[in-house]
Chains A and B, each alone.
With several copies, the nearest count.
Chain A
């Protein structure tokens, strides 16, 4: 599942479409917030670029309304933007724009009740995150209450490209899979096809964010980005087809 910051460029929807066409299972659309406390420099930069362009939640949702139905979209943002509208209005707006899931990195299990109820009531999946520091009983509870999939944060750190996949990624994914039948997607620090393959071994899928956004910020065209994702898709498919 690739990640794209909503509104990062004037033609960001073309990038979105290219990612869909390149074989994304789903796409994470970032709704930019002024203070992205869990993001590393690349997604911070993408966020700043989007906000500088005047991107708003409403504008981004407008841009994607009517987007192709065959690739599910999952919104991700910080909780302040959810609170601003109120969780119910916010989730309803997501659903109206055709978004099926929501990731809120600064909303841990303990604070998620209100948002979970609001999301559920309009049929949006509130995805919860688990981290390598999450202890066992809590991990089970996160897995139980997460909807859509469980987001496995691969390492203790922020989003962003890394040279290698953290060992903690496989451990965490296995621990989550031991607690639930829900799909587990691994994110944070996965940049290359090889890293994706490695991370996917113990999980149901991977999330690639900063690596794509770095390319977009450096001026990559929708075709460029699509080609990158296609490469990763192929690597993952080959791995899966092996015995």
Chain B
């Protein structure tokens, strides 16, 4: 539950028992071969794991490096979110819960939760800020088509931060039958640890694929975008004990790890964007999934340790990187993932990545959801 000085369980007393119940259930389920088999099978037959590791030849040649993409965009529902959600949904069913609660920003975690709920015969209630509902109308309809209830959140900035708060409020009154399915490596213990554990399938697969693909076995750099940071946490977990340099790429307007200060929000001590009075500041990013003013506690810890670096990228850099990857490789990445690509392009151009460097980058999701956003810019 603790990552150095970060993490913990800063929840109302009413949720302490519920969090403990989740922790105990997870500690009991995770080593159970039956649980592992069920999860592995769902990841194979529903999600389409393992996802490929794609060497990108044309962009690599242009940049003078060797770039490999871990293709989470090819998973069912189109982002890495499903890895975690299926794990938690199996756990919820094992705990005898009948409802899933989730918060969502762009809607990817909401769609994943609605999907897992439909698959396992659970009900799903997804909290989503009213502004995000307007921006991501199609994902709202996808969730409803999957049978989920989507609840608009009208408070605060009416985005992900407020949806998360509202999901927690709802859970306080519904712990008996409901399981709160957190979408990132945020929230109170055991969530940051559990979500990373479910997501480390990304890093473990990539580690093995790199060993097969690279003469050096381990890449020089491992790069992933960071909102709350679940795809990065899962990716880094597979490489933390290697010589690979770990780089988390944040949106300039949502750079909890790079620019945040220590605080407590949504159950964990971590790094958050806040003003001098300690009020949490709204994040602003073109990528809805990076539009969160904090970062998971493990990232705060990795930063303090110096084991991972956290860098920022602007909206414009991300958009340009998205188009460049599309034109050179035929891959339309999610705007979130495009941030990671943008940093690689910038760092290769600046000589920060030495010529010939091997870079493993997790492409966390596909960009179909972003086409209308990009279209408005064009």
Q: How far is the CB of B111 from chain A (nearest CB, A)?
A: 24
Q: Is the CB of A133 within 8 A of B279?
A: no
Q: How far is the CA of A14 from the CA of B267 in the complex (A)?
A: 35
Closest beta carbon of chain A to B77's beta carbon, Å: 28
Which secondary structure dominates chain B's binding surface? mixed
Q: Are B156 and A133 closer than 8 Å at their CB atoms?
A: no
B172 contacts A106, CB within 8 Å?
no
CB of A220 within 8 Å of the partner chain: no
**Identity of the chain A residue whose Cβ is nearest the Cβ of B168 in the assembled complex:** A37
A84 and B262 CA atoms in complex are apart in Å by: 7
Residues of B within 8 A of A5 (CB): none
Interface residues of B in 251-268 (CB under 8 A from A): 261-267
Binds A, one of B84-92, B229-237, B269-277: B269-277
Contact at A40–B156, with CB atoms within 8 Å?
no
B280 contacts across to A, CB distance below 8 A: 34-35, 80
Contact A83:B278 (CB < 8 A) given known A35-B161, A130-B13, A142-B13: yes
**Contact partners of A38 in chain B: CB under 8 A:** 12, 14, 169, 172
Do residues A133 and B18 form an inter-chain contact, with CB atoms below 8 A?
Answer: yes
Indicate whether A191 reaches chain B with its CB closer than 8 angstroms: no
Instruction: Give min CB distance, A155 to chain B, whole Å.
Output: 8
Listed stretches B3-11, B114-122, B327-335; interface member: B3-11
> Does A67 interact with chain B (Cβ within 8 Å)?
no
Asked if A85 and B9 make an inter-chain contact with CB atoms under 8 angstroms apart, the answer reads no
Which B residues touch A39, using CB under 8 A? Answer: 169
Total A-B pairs in contact (CB under 8 Å)?
A: 113
B36 proximal to A (CB < 8 A):
no
| Chain A residues, Cβ within 8 Å of B173 | 155-158
Q: Is B155 an interface residue (CB 8 A)?
A: yes
Distance from B266 Cβ to chain A, minimum over Cβ atoms (Å): 7
Q: In whole Å, how far is A157's beta carbon from the nearest beta carbon of chain B?
A: 4
Within 8 A of A (CB), among B1-34: 8-14, 16-18
A83–B277 touching, CB < 8 Å: no
Interface string of A115-150 (1 = CB under 8 A from B): 000000000000011111111001000100000000
* Given contacts A111-B8, A156-B172, A158-B173, A35 and B165 within 8 Å (CB-CB): yes
Given contacts A44-B155, A79-B264, A110-B9, contact A135 B17 (CB under 8 A): yes
- Bound-state CA distance A111–B19 (Å) is 14
B98 CB-CB contact with A under 8 Å: no
Q: How far is the CA of A110 from the CA of B15 in the complex (A)?
A: 12
Count of chain B residues with a beta carbon within 8 Å of a chain A beta carbon = 34
Most buried by A among B9, B13, B175: B13
When chains A and B are docked, how far (Å) is the Cα of A131 from the Cα of B172?
A: 10
The answer, among B12, B155, B264, B277, for a CB contact under 8 Å with A56, is B277
A83 in contact with B266 given A34-B279, A133-B175, A153-B14 (CB within 8 Å): no
A98 at the B interface (CB under 8 A) = no
Considering the chains assembled together, what is the distance between the CA atoms of A58 and B276 in angstroms?
Answer: 11
Instruction: Please name the residue on chain B nearest to A33 by beta carbon.
Output: B279
B161: chain A residues at CB < 8 Å are: 35
Chain A interface size, under 10 / 10 to 19 / 20 to 34 / 35 or more: 35 or more
Q: Report whether A131 and B12 are in contact in the complex, using a CB–CB cutoff of 8 Å.
A: yes
Tell me how far the C-beta of A146 lies from the nearest C-beta in chain B, rounded to whole angstroms.
11
**A81 interface residue, CB < 8 Å from B?**
yes
Distance of B241 from chain A, by nearest CB (Å):
30
| Residues of chain A lying within 8 A (CB to CB) of residue B11 | 106, 108
Taking CB atoms, residues of chain B closer than 8 Å to A79 are 10, 264
Interchain CA distance A35-B155 in the complex, whole Å: 10
Closest to A134 in B: B13
Q: Mark out the residues of chain B between 49 and 86 whose CB falls within 8 Å of any chain A CB in the assembled complex.
A: none
User: Considering the chains assembled together, what is the distance between the CA atoms of A106 and B263 in angstroms?
Assistant: 12
Contact between chains at A156 and B14 (CB < 8 Å): yes
Within 8 Å by CB of B263, from A84, A105, A132, lies A84
Contact assessment for B278 and A134 in the assembled complex, using a CB-CB cutoff below 8 Å: no
Additional pairs, 9, CB under 8 Å, beyond known A34-B280, A80-B264, A106-B11: A35-B162, A37-B169, A48-B156, A56-B277, A80-B263, A80-B265, A108-B13, A111-B10, A129-B13
Residues of A within 8 A of B (CB): 33-41, 44, 48, 51, 56-58, 78-81, 83-85, 105-111, 128-135, 138, 142, 153, 155-158
A-B contact pairs, 29 of them (CB 8 A): A33-B278, A33-B279, A34-B156, A35-B266, A37-B12, A37-B266, A38-B12, A40-B169, A44-B155, A51-B279, A56-B277, A58-B277, A80-B272, A81-B277, A83-B269, A83-B278, A84-B263, A84-B274, A106-B12, A106-B267, A109-B13, A131-B16, A133-B14, A133-B175, A134-B17, A156-B172, A158-B169, A158-B172, A158-B173
